Amino acid sequence: MRVLVVGSGGREHALAWKISRSPRVEEVLAAPGSDGMADVARRCDVAADDFEGLAALCRVEGVDLVVIGPEAPLANGLADHLRAAGFAVFGPSAAAARLEASKRFAKEFMQRHDIPTADFASFDDLEAARAHVRGLPGGCVVKADGLAAGKGVAVCPTPAEAERALEEIMGDRRFGTAGDRVVVEELMVGEEASYYAITDGEHVVTLAAAQDHKRALDGDRGENTGGMGAYVPAPVVSEAVEKRILERVVHPAIRGMAKEGTPYQGVLYVGLMVDETGEPRVVEFNVRFGDPETQPLLVQMQGDLVPLLDGSARGGLDRVAPPAIDGAAVCVVLTSQGYPREFEKGRAIRGLDEAAGDPEVVVVHAGTRRAEGGGFVTAGGRVLGVTARGESIGEARDRAYAAADRIHFEGAQFRTDIAARALS
């Protein structure tokens, strides 16, 4: 098979790495890819939003399967466009991708199909939203309705903080048109987890549960980011909790999408809050693999990912065996100073070879480019994801931090408490 991975970030690097290890795959292509992916994929200079260019690339290269990484092309209809051109595609239609592209759509969908989630209200008027949060008895969560690269969410312990978040999203337009509408949610209490299910629209194969670290600073302080690290498995998702997730969330969601005429193909990422009694409620749906959860998820996964991707794209996922899960994996994300706000680029990166010298370590490039004189420099807010495998979360965590300590660039930052909750 020849597989095209669409995208250029850490998630896409991890997918290309895992796909390249499949005995079924002759070559992996990446569009547009990144300099850091060159060891596992051939870069093709076609942008992720160039639908006609991607279709032409698939024809010229004889691509057998397209794996779409980022959410924006999915929300804009790339999967529909390529399927209409005759290609097998891993990823949902634009109609199904509304589960992520519109927070209000997702909340109303969950209401229609009795999927547990937080109470909410939505607003397209700033003053009406302000009046609402002033009348709340306590904290809330304010979310930009549209796509904001994982950063359009503010957890607000007080009404005053909620008003500031509303002003930033709707008044200052920090997230552009994604903030035309906001969703204000009840503040749920519990432990967060990310659950992954691959589906062909009817059948489901589940993957390991992960836990992400969204806040920029240790102790879950600071701003929400695209993700500062993650680990697999998530101890909070016990066998009993997983059964509830499948019965109350995953299967009703897949059935609901089919019933509404928008069958869902691809990976369904369910962000969850699990309370102290083990009851899960949905924080959000994503319509693609998470970043950085994909890194530990795929490093921990034993065996071949490609049959799952292909089975989802073509149907018949019920004939594909679930992947073997073994041990644990932890990912530590190295970021540029100032992320998720303003940051500088072009900082020389040292120590990549030393960090990747451990065979149980995988370093993926999220925001780098190759320097003119060789080596790599920083080119984004999230720069690298350092993932390590181990027999336990503790062993994987120690190995990941040992590798991260070997990498240096000016202004490098990372959290020092990834997976601490699991270890405690």
Give the tens place of pLDDT for each residue, 228-258: 999 999 999 999 999 999 999 999 999 999 9
Whether the model clears a pTM of 0.85, i.e. scores above it, the answer is yes
pLDDT at 226: 87
What are the domain boundaries of the chain?
2-90, 125-180, 190-325, 328-423
pLDDT at 149: 74
Class of domain 2-90: alpha beta
Residues 6+ away with beta carbon under 8 Å from 291: 9, 10, 11, 150, 226, 227, 366
List Cα–Cα distances, 39 to 3, 185, 331, 351, 365, in angstroms: 15, 43, 20, 17, 11
Low-confidence ranges of the chain (pLDDT < 70): none
pLDDT at 292: 95
Count of Cβ atoms closer than 10 Å to residue 343 Cβ: 19
pLDDT at 283: 94
Q: Which CATH architecture has domain 328-423?
A: Alpha-Beta Complex (3.90)
Give CA–CA dist 12/36, Å, rounded.
11
What is the third-level CATH fold of 190-325? D-amino Acid Aminotransferase; Chain A, domain 1 (3.30.470)
Question: Does the domain formed by 125-180 have CATH 3.40.50.2300?
Answer: no
pLDDT at 148: 85
